[in-house]
Amino acid sequence: MNIKSIFKNIRDGLCWSFTWLVILTIMLSFINGTGIISATFLLKLLALCLWGVISFVISFRSNLVKNKRFVLRLTAFYVMFIPVEVAMFFFMNIFDTNEGLIKWAIFGAIVVALYVASLLIDKFVFDKLGEDYTRKLQKYQENLASAKN
């Protein structure tokens, strides 16, 4: 992957993620009745999105992990992104209420549950699809070899 495509992936991912997070933030601010979003909050949100996109591009789109398994890529993404996400949530006062500890626990449980779900999908779905693909490819090669004889 060349540098131009890396920057294109970062640009596209940043536009998509930042736009949707701003839309969600606006909706939540109206639901909560505040209707106000600070420029500082938006800059922190932009920084979070930028780091998330960079982490994603490094973990899933770069030549560093081109031939690696999904679990390794996912783990690399989690290791790069989750600590920064937690720090940014803290600095953005996302869970700054009386029930803050409960909300942090729910957030942690969601992160762990999504990681475990991804591992299970990889193990039971992708591995099976890979085995089916390998079997079909071997059968095709056998048919090709027998057709030549």
pLDDT digits (tens, 9 = 90+) for 35-85: 788 899 899 999 999 999 999 999 888 887 778 888 888 888 989 999 888
Can you read off the two tokens belonging to residue 52?
């998330």
115-125 per-position pLDDT tens digit: 889 888 888 88
User: For 122, how many CA atoms within 13 A lie in the half-sphere containing its CB?
Assistant: 13
- Locate all alpha helices (DSSP H) within 57-123, ordered by sequence: 70-91, 100-121
Average pLDDT over the chain, rounded to an integer? 85
More confident residue, 137 or 35: 137
- pLDDT-above-70 percentage for the chain: 97
| The model's pTM | 0.72
Give the dihedral of Cα atoms 108, 113, 119, 122; nearest 10 deg. Answer: -130
Residue 102 amino acid letter: I
Cα 87 to Cα 67: distance, rounded to the nearest angstrom: 31
Asked whether 77 and 60 are in contact (CB, 8 A), the reply is yes
